[in-house]
Structure 1
Amino acid sequence: MVLSGQIKAVVEELLQPFLEREKFELVDIEYVKEGSNWFLRVFLDKEGGIDIEDCGRASEYLSKKLDERDPIPDAYFLEVSSPGAERPLKKPADYNRAIGKNVCFTTYEPVDGAKEFEGRLESYDGQTAVIVLHGSNKRQELPVSKVASARLAILF
């Protein structure tokens, strides 16, 4: 059985020349089963944002490379898209780029009695994210090791 992590690594390797040529950023790769179907989802971005034509070019390139190498034993649907306005924060560069922006964090276990935090990301040092919480202006330190998910947040 091929593991999801192995598939992600192969997809990233196959996509790398395209990313470099087009100056795209790989935000995330998911290989998940939903119902009876498998989905390979690739999220890309670039300076100024990614559009449908960019996604189409990336999808064609990746589909051709996947057909040549055939690293995935299951039938699957390939989806290439933008990470959206509420982009996930996965890598240190994502956190650094989000400083000063509204974010939403969830943790694996409670931190100071809560597991969800929304506010403005004040700082990030690789180990700890500091958020100024909405509504209270309280500064909340979150150890990155306890963060289950982090994303940009849109305020309405």
Structure 2
Amino acid sequence: MGKKVTDQTRELVQPILDNMHLKLVDIEFEKEGKHWFLRVFIDKPEGVDIEECGIVSEQLSEQLDQQDPVSVPYYLEVSSPGAERPLKKEQDFNESIGKSVFVSLYEPYEGSKTFEGKLTAFDGEFVTIEITVKTRTKTVQIPFKKIAKARLAVTFN
């Protein structure tokens, strides 16, 4: 049910976002406790505000009511992905070059399952991260297919 709901929601929300010059970051349909949540994450280069989230929520809610792709009661949430937004698609990695990232892997690579540092390159096959170990800077090339999860990382310098 989850993939069907997210796919149908994507079709409904995309024209709304295109009209408002916003980008769809992700859609999640998850059960937490006894409640279902349909979460839509949106963004734009300068960030989205609560008013934009409200407009998208209202318009999407109308579309969902008309199309009725969800067979269970649920809560609709439209929000920004936040400062530590997930990186899921190749485009997300390309747009994040030069930023701090946190990456966790399915299995250890070069002795570690997690890496945090500056994303310096992405070629579709490898994610290149510049990490600092004690006082030394090191570059690690991680195979993209080994990444379980990745997100932007807030750093305090």
| Shorter-chain TM-score range | over 0.9
Q: Please, what TM-score do these two structures have when normalized by structure 2?
A: 0.95
Structure 1 counterpart SS, 2:83: coil
Whether 2:70 is the aligned partner of 1:72: answer yes
Question: 1:80-99 to 2 correspondence within 5 Å?
Answer: 80-99=78-97
Note the residue ranges of structure 2 that are not aligned, 5 or more in a row: none
* Aligned 8 A contact 1:120 1:134 in 2: no
Which residue does the alignment assign to 1:61? Answer: 59
CA deviations on 1:69-121 (whole Å, 9 max, x unpaired) are 10101111110000001111112221111111110000111111211100000
Whether 2:119 is the aligned partner of 1:140: answer no
Letter in 1 for 2:6: K
Question: 1:1-156 to 2 correspondence within 5 Å?
Answer: 3-135=1-133, 136-156=136-156
Runs of 4+ in 1 over 2 A off after TM superposition: none
* Aligned 8 A contact 1:38 1:76 in 2: yes
Letter in 1 for 2:154: I
* Aligned 8 A contact 1:99 1:123 in 2: yes
Letter in 1 for 2:86: P
Q: CA deviation at 1:47?
A: 2.5
Note the residue ranges of structure 1 that are not aligned, 5 or more in a row: none
Alpha-carbon RMSD across the aligned residues, in angstroms, is: 0.9
Aligned-partner Cα distance in 1 for 2:138–2:85: 24
Letter in 1 for 2:21: K
